Copies of this chain bind each other. A is one copy, B any other.
Amino acid sequence: MITINIIGSGNVAQHLISVFQQTENIMLQQVFSRKRESINHLISDDKIVTHYSDLKTADITIISVTDDAIAEVSNQLPFENQLVVHTSGSVGLEAINAKNRKGVFYPLQTFSKSKAIDFKAVPICLETENESDYAVLESVAKTISDKVFKISSNQRQSLHVAAVFSCNFVNHLYHLGKEICDENNVPFEILMPLIQETADKIKTLSPLEAQTGPAKRNDQKTIEKHMSFLDDEHKKTIYRLLTQSIQKYNG
Residues of chain B with a CB closer than 8 A to A108's CB:
190-191, 193-194
Residues of chain B with a CB closer than 8 A to A189's CB:
123, 147
- With an 8 A cutoff between CB atoms, is A3 at the interface? no
A40–B217 CA distance with the chains assembled, in angstroms:
29
Q: How many copies does the complex hold?
A: 2
Query: Which size bracket describes the interface of A in this complex?
Result: 35 or more
Q: Are A172 and B207 in contact (CB under 8 A)?
A: yes
Q: Taking beta carbons and an 8 Å cutoff, which residues of A are in contact with B?
A: 67, 90, 108-110, 121-123, 125, 147, 149, 151, 154-155, 157-181, 183-199, 201-203, 206-208, 210-216, 222, 225-226, 229-230, 234-235, 237-239, 241-242, 245-246, 248-249
Nearest-Cβ distance from residue A63 to partner chain B, whole angstroms = 18
Q: Are A122 and B193 in contact (CB under 8 A)?
A: yes
Residues of chain B with a CB closer than 8 A to A172's CB:
207, 211, 215, 242, 245-246, 249
Across the interface, A229 reaches (CB within 8 A) one of B149, B158, B166, B192, namely B158
Q: Are A165 and B190 in contact (CB under 8 A)?
A: no
- Taking A125-B190, A177-B163, A190-B123 as contacts, is the C-beta distance between A109 and B207 under 8 angstroms? no
Q: Taking CB as reference atom, which chain B residue is nearest A110?
A: B197
Q: Are B245 and A190 in contact (CB under 8 A)?
A: no
Residues of chain B with a CB closer than 8 A to A208's CB:
175, 178
Identify which of A125, A185, A202, A213 gathers the most chain B CB atoms within 10 Å of its CB. Answer: A202
Q: Are A199 and B202 in contact (CB under 8 A)?
A: no
Residues of chain B with a CB closer than 8 A to A201's CB:
110, 171
